[in-house]
Amino acid sequence: MSPDRLVYMANQIGKFFAYQKKDEIVPGIANHIKKFWDPRMRQAMFAYLDAGGEGLDPAVQEAFAVLKRKAEEGAPAESSLQGT
């Protein structure tokens, strides 16, 4: 999947959560991506992150790092902004 497009989409998600409660920002982004992105999109971003993650907003970078770590641990990310 094109990293440019995925980076743009992830940063868009980041911009929404940037205005939520501080302790919700990173979990909110991570949870949204976990719930709505096909695994191949997340995998592409993990690889992109490993390559430096250029262009990703800091909170989004952090969220992908959380997701990657949790994927390796097999645990879900959570947030009160569940959505559908």
**Cβ proximity to another protein, 58 vs 76, nearer residue:** 76
Does 58 bind another protein (CB under 8 A)? Our answer is no
Does 56 bind another protein (CB under 8 A)? Our answer is no
Does 81 bind another protein (CB under 8 A)? Our answer is yes
DSSP string, 12-74: HHHHHHTTS-HHHHHHHHHHHHHHHS-HHHHHHHHHHHHTT-TT--HHHHHHHHHHHHHHHHT
Q: Is the separation of the CB atoms in 17 and 29 below 8 Å?
A: yes
Does 41 bind another protein (CB under 8 A)? Our answer is yes
Q: Give the binding site for another protein (CB under 8 A).
A: 1-2, 5, 9, 12-13, 15-16, 18-21, 32, 35-41, 76, 80-84
